[in-house]
Amino acid sequence: MLKRVVSGVLGIPLLLAIIYYGGTALYLSVMVVSLIGLYEFYEAVKHKSINPVSSLGFLVSILMISFINYSTNPIYILFILVFTTIILSLILLVKPKYNITDASVTIYGIIYVTIFLGHIILTSKQENNIAIWLIFITAWATDTCAYFTGYFLGKKKLCPTISPKKTVEGAIGGTLGAVLISGIFGYVFLKDHLVAVIIMGFVASVLSQTGDLTASIIKRYVGIKDYGNLIPGHGGILDRFDSILFTAPVVYYFLLFMINNVK
């Protein structure tokens, strides 16, 4: 617990500064987190004798984050994914040590880690981009409220075979807490879109917990407890960002279609 607190005290101010200043700092930070997260994911699946084409995955991730940062045109993202799939198909033809599972996991890692995190940058480039804070607020609020609700009131297990400590009561408490805090944020900063922000808080909270459980499913499948030990008390980058992977796209698309699209 002490390690978790110390990591939070040191890490949260840095994260807040990066989000506040945005620009190059945000671009480079998302790049670094994506590459480390992708490395952790690729290393994890190796426990199941899956051999992703890691070098290609890292190269594509660098290109992907760079295109996302310097151009919001989705055609570039589609182009990179199509081109990557073609390259992987050629690799399968000329390198027998790789198989379709290796190629599929390579692509999945790029989408699951890099593209999902890239939505943080996409959000920062939109009108009303103050909503970028909701990516982290909803994830943290869900996690904190779910923990305390589950600790004091939790009885019924949510997914005992995936994450034995999580409870239905904790999940409900986490969602309610995230909706409340998102609503307060919306009232202060996005008052004209308060209803959309509250709905966003609900959906993001549900998917935040989905992201957490998805990470647990992967770790349980490959037989590891944590993705790494980079962050004392928290594990690896993916252990800390598993829920944010899912809240980032939610906030971006709500901002795009339900807030900025309203005239």
Give the angle subtended at the CA of 120 by the CAs of 133 and 171, to the nearest 5°: 60
pLDDT for residue 229: 85
Domain boundaries, the chain: 2-259
Mean pLDDT over residues 196-203, rounded? 98
pLDDT tens readout for residues 100-121: 999 999 999 999 999 999 999 9
Reduced to 3 states (helix: H, G, I; strand: E, B; else coil), residue 1 is: coil
The number of beta carbons lying within 10 Å of the beta carbon of residue 248 is 29
d(CA 192, CA 7): 36
pLDDT tens readout for residues 44-86: 999 999 999 999 999 999 999 999 999 878 888 899 999 999 9
- pLDDT band at residue 263 under the 50/70/90 scheme: low
d(CA 37, CA 158): 27
Amino acid code (one letter) for 166:
K
pLDDT tens readout for residues 116-144: 999 999 999 999 999 999 999 999 999 99
Q: Is residue 228 pLDDT above 90, yes or no?
A: no
pTM of the complete model: 0.94
Give the pair of three-digit tokens for residue 245.
């992977």
The label of the residue with tokens 């796209």 reads 249
d(CA 243, CA 12): 16
Closest listed residue to residue 102, CA positions, set 93, 110, 92 = 92
Handedness of CA 253, 257, 258, 261 (dihedral sign): positive
Amino acid code (one letter) for 18:
I
pLDDT for residue 234: 65
Q: Residue 99: what are its φ and ψ, rounded to 5°? A: -130, 180
Task: Classify burial at 229, counting beta carbons within 10 Å of its beta carbon; exposed 0-12, middle 13-18, buried 19 or more.
Answer: exposed
Residue 128 · residue 255 · CB < 8 Å: yes
Give the pair of three-digit tokens for residue 57.
């995955």
Q: Express as a percent the part of the chain with pLDDT over 90.
A: 84
pLDDT tens readout for residues 141-190: 999 999 999 999 999 999 999 999 999 999 999 999 999 999 999 999 99
Question: What are the strands, taking DSSP E only, across the chain?
Answer: 157-159, 163-167
Give the pair of three-digit tokens for residue 93.
């033809």
Give, for 157, the enclosing helix (H) or strand (E).
strand 157-159
Give the pair of three-digit tokens for residue 137.
């607020």
Beta strand 163-167 with 157-159 is antiparallel
